[in-house]
Structure 1
Amino acid sequence: MAQIIAVHSFRGGTGKSNIIANIAATMTLQGQRVGIIDTDIQSPGIHIIFGLKEDKIQLTLNDYLWGRCNIKETAYDVTDTLIAEQENTSTVKGSLYLIPSSIKAAEISRVLREGYDVIRLNDGFQSLIRNLKLDYLLIDTHPGLNEETLVSIGISNVLLIILRPDSQDFQGTAVTIDVARKLKAAKIVLILNKVLPSLNFADLKQQVEKIYDVPVAGILPLSEDMVQLGSKGLFCLRYSQHTITQTIKGITEQIAGLVVSHW
């Protein structure tokens, strides 16, 4: 049975899309069929990490939500991106699909002005899983809490919350966890990102887990290599031995363990 992983942050700028992209790539290299859906319709961007250029995007999640097409037509096979990064097709065992949101100003304005049917969005999740025969569907949510986020949290098998060691992030994460518990979220896991390497990661993990009573799946350091890459590719494939890559692998293994234990 396919597993839905909602990946969320209360505020923007946490590195959520990069983390999603690298987790999805790791899953794909391990032989899984993975989908990523960019439901951050107001500020989409994960397509850039996969090199999916604007002129190559014909249909988007927006088109599906407004009844212009079926959801499968908005799915782009980006497995070739992994193959290009790896430079060796034999190491790419799975398949990876991306459902982008529109980056056209008029389309974004329409969302802000009119909204969309979140029930149709939920139907789209299920249709993608069936039609693409997915093992995992990762949902890139819009920061903060809105109706779409609540639906994503409510239907997910695992909720990953990304936060930085920042007071505003800490407060917002507390709100998110409280809401997720009220929605009876199956599993909640935290990922700390952009942490100064000089900090004691073990102590920080212990402190955060005590504050929220939620496990920390991994702590990712603030990295000059990540900043220099600037979302122009998949970090875990460019830097296969990097601490961040090894942590991403560990997080991916924990996700797999969580969904197995849930079912």
Structure 2
Amino acid sequence: MTYNPIKTERRGHVLEVTLDRPKANAIDLATSRIMGEVFTDFRDDPELRVAIITGGGEKFFCPGWDLKAAADGDEVDGDYGKGGFGGLQELRGLNKPVIAAVNGICCGGGLELALSADIILAADHASFALPEINSGTVADAASIKLPKRIPYHIAMEMLFTGRWIDAEEAARWGMINQIHSGADLMAKAREMADLLASGPPLVYAAIKEVVREAEDMKFQDAMNKITKSQFETVETLYRSEDQLEGAKAFAEKRDPVWKGK
């Protein structure tokens, strides 16, 4: 029986993905390709609405690239599979919410993986860093993402020095949403996932596409693209049964029943 470093569990409309690769949950090429398949299947499955990504054990979320695998011949710039490194960073059309439950050390490519999620919850003992500077490499995805997520000078300090920050500081700079005890982390992640899974999936899809596409656009250009019906997910929403259901539920003073169509 072949060992699979990625464990998945479906809970209704929620997919839980656990990176379980002792001792540290580092990602090699084979693991990245599996993750790409998992998140592609999640993207394409109409019954799944929300994903949670976490690490196995209590010490590591993910330290990023497996340096031991690299020493054994894995190419740093090899074929990471669908979605790029970790399956999330470059996965096109992923218009569903993803929650990262950071259960421990989260650094390098592991931090880049967490930053690819939409919501980040962290255990109170979690820690974060971009130590690539110490090995003479570039945290490429983090160099693009982090200065847009937290204050520029803090992001640059992390990139330039590789210094570690704890969960409290990460929350202070807005890198993560919430801090929970290690024992409560997954329960809180599931609570958040269930809340999102009960919401309107077509609206989430529209939000994610607009946010993603408008990131490098001027405000008015993005608004013009919406009014000219150039966002596919927005147009799908406005032609959907769910759009009508939302209006009916409001008028009838009841909770809407979202079908995602």
TM-score (normalizing by structure 1): 0.31
TM-score (normalizing by structure 2): 0.31
- Larger relative contact order (Cα-Cα within 8 Å, sequence gap ≥ 6): 1
